[in-house]
Amino acid sequence: MTASIDDAREAAATSKAAATVPAFRTIDAETQHTVEQFLYAEAELLDQHRYHEWLELFAEDVHYWAPTRMTRTIRERDREIAARGESAFIEDDLHFLKGRVRRLTSGVSWSEEPPSRTRRLITNVRARPRDDGSLDVACNFYVYRSRLERHQDWFVGERFDVLRPAPSSQTGYPFLIADRTIVLDQSTLLAPSISVFL
């Protein structure tokens, strides 16, 4: 049976669910390599501030979401991560992502002028095919941000993506990101803002 992205999200939210979703996922080596190269290319676009190119990686109906997280007791672990429709650090569709890119590149975004220097590390990429031909992809991320002379932040967590196959002749990339859930490990963010893309 193929686990869905919702199963993976539940696993991130509760240790009981984690026991039901297989940690070992098998997929052919070529697909695994292609998925990894796609995610690395995305990280490069963001680190190089190539935001307009980055927007081309998203499907028209994308949902880009970073739910909040609260420290919970063992009995309440299933409520550690906010559900859809509850509180979120970020909840965007393609229209809002384009607006954020316009703001970042306008030169008048006070939190990103001058722009932050970032470095993204993507690790532990796990992919699983879905019945509709798309892929559920989970990965761990570390985003380091250096701003001005001494300011430093880092964002660490896990991302859950749905990648749809796309004709490379159209975009130059093999997939479109149809859904992204960003689960941060921090329950309290010490960064003054999330003005960079995760």
pLDDT in tens, 103-126: 988 888 877 788 889 999 999 999
Helix (H, G, I), strand (E, B) or coil at 73: coil
Q: Comparing 21 with 44, which gets the higher pLDDT?
A: 44
- Give 3 or 134, the one with higher predicted confidence: 134
Q: Look at residue 196 and tell me if it is in a domain.
A: no
Cβ count within 10 A of residue 134: 19
- Is residue 198, in this structure, part of any structural domain at all? no
For the ranges 93-97, 105-109, 168-172, 194-198, the maximum mean pLDDT occurs at 93-97
Residue 163 within any structural domain of the chain: yes
Q: Does any domain span residue 193?
A: no
SS3 94: helix
Cα distances (Å, whole numbers) of residue 8 to 103, 108, 125:
33, 38, 13
**Strand 117-129 and strand 175-184: pairing?**
unpaired
Residue 20 confidence (pLDDT)? 56
Mean local confidence (pLDDT), 57-61:
97
148: confidence class by pLDDT, cuts 50, 70, 90: confident
Has residue 35 been placed in a domain?
Answer: yes
Mean of per-residue pLDDT scores for the chain: 87
SS3 content of the chain, % helix, strand, coil (to 5): 30, 35, 35
| DSSP H helical ranges for the chain | 5-13, 15-18, 29-47, 51-55, 94-104, 168-171
pLDDT mean over 39-56: 97
> Per the domain annotation, does 195 fall within a domain?
no
pLDDT digits (tens, 9 = 90+) for 1-38: 444 445 544 544 433 334 455 788 889 999 999 999 99
- Find the CATH number of the domain harbouring 99: 3.10.450.50
* Domain around 28: 5-184
Task: Name residues whose C-beta falls within 8 Å of residue 193's C-beta, 6 or more positions apart in sequence.
Answer: 111
Higher-confidence position of 9 and 69: 69
- The domain tally of the chain equals 1
191 within some domain: no
Q: Is the pLDDT of residue 138 over 60?
A: yes
- 101 occurs within a structural domain: yes
Cβ atoms of 163 and 175 closer than 8 Å: yes
